[in-house]
Amino acid sequence: MAEPDGLPAQLGVDIDPELLTLALTHRSYAYENGGIAHNERLEFLGDSILGQAVTVMLFRSYPDLDEGELAKRRAALVSSVALAEVARTIGLGRHLRLGRGEELTGGRDKSSILADTVEAIIGAVYLDAGADIATDLVLRLIAPLLEDSSRFGAAMDPKTSLQELAARRGRGLPSYRVTDSGPDHSKRFHATVLIGGEDIAAGEGTSKKQAEMAAALEAWTILQSRGR
């Protein structure tokens, strides 16, 4: 794990080191180290701050949009898929405190873990610096999605966006292969998207839909990078 010393500069905030460390601590690390505190309470708080900041921003920025369209855009911007993309742009994965099991299974790039950690950091900033600074952080983090209109559209509806892109490229319809693991009360879903018989990308989530969306956005990104 990289030391989080450079993370506050990337985030553009000063944050108490202990709170930041807590925000980066996944439950798997906590359980393997004597049941120390982990980031899920901060995640709960950050989720609320995130939702409010995005709601107010959209309401003010798009006065001509109706409630349904505002809700759709908010859902896209606060989704695990979008937050994971935010986390990857700042290299958050290398700062995570993970247990050995998560480390060995690619936890540093799992969309669900990355998204939860972004929310935990927002919660930590709120506690340490207050609502205004936390709101500013949220708006800076989501700005790249808003500035990249094609990616924002893909994040809003990645399965439809992937289908349309694949059709334009003459690749055929995407299909999904989904597996699950874990107990009934805490299942994890893993989705692989195939186009023309080729495994293009994979994604994870706490539901089949979430896993498919994560896989679809990753596949859309890959196809976009390949060009025509």
Give me the percent of the chain exceeding a pLDDT of 70. Answer: 94
Length of the chain: 228
Q: Which contacts (CB < 8 Å, 24+ apart) does range 216-220 have?
A: 216/158, 216/159, 216/161, 216/162, 216/174, 217/81, 217/85, 217/154, 217/155, 217/158, 217/161, 217/162, 218/193, 219/162, 219/174, 219/193, 219/195, 220/154, 220/158, 220/161, 220/162, 220/165
pLDDT at residue 5, rounded to an integer: 64
Q: Per-residue pLDDT for 40 more than 70?
A: yes
Specify if 46 maps to a domain.
yes
> What's the number of domains the chain is made of?
2
Q: Which domain holds residue 80?
A: 13-151
C-alpha distances (whole Å) from 156 to each of 68, 143, 150, 198 are 13, 15, 10, 24
Beta strands in the chain (DSSP E): 175-181, 188-195, 198-205
- Catalytic one among 3, 5, 32, 47? 47
pTM: 0.74
Residue 207 pLDDT grade (very low, low, confident, very high; cuts 50, 70, 90) = confident
Q: Are 141 and 165 in the same domain?
A: no
Q: Per-residue pLDDT for 2 more than 60?
A: no
Q: Per-residue pLDDT for 226 more than 80?
A: no
The CATH number covering residue 41 comes to 1.10.1520.10
pLDDT at residue 129, rounded to an integer: 95
- Residue 43 among known ligand-binding residues: yes
CA–CA distance, 135 with 157 (Å, rounded to integer): 25
The CATH number covering residue 207 comes to 3.30.160.20
The reply to whether 157 belongs to the active site is: no
Q: Are 187 and 142 in the same domain?
A: no
The reply to whether 85 belongs to the active site is: no
Q: Per-residue pLDDT for 27 more than 50?
A: yes
- Residue 147 among known ligand-binding residues: no
- Residue 18 among known ligand-binding residues: no
pLDDT at residue 224, rounded to an integer: 82
Q: Per-residue pLDDT for 79 more than 80?
A: yes
- Catalytic one among 119, 204, 212, 218? 119
Q: Are 147 and 159 in the same domain?
A: no
CA–CA distance, 9 with 88 (Å, rounded to integer): 16
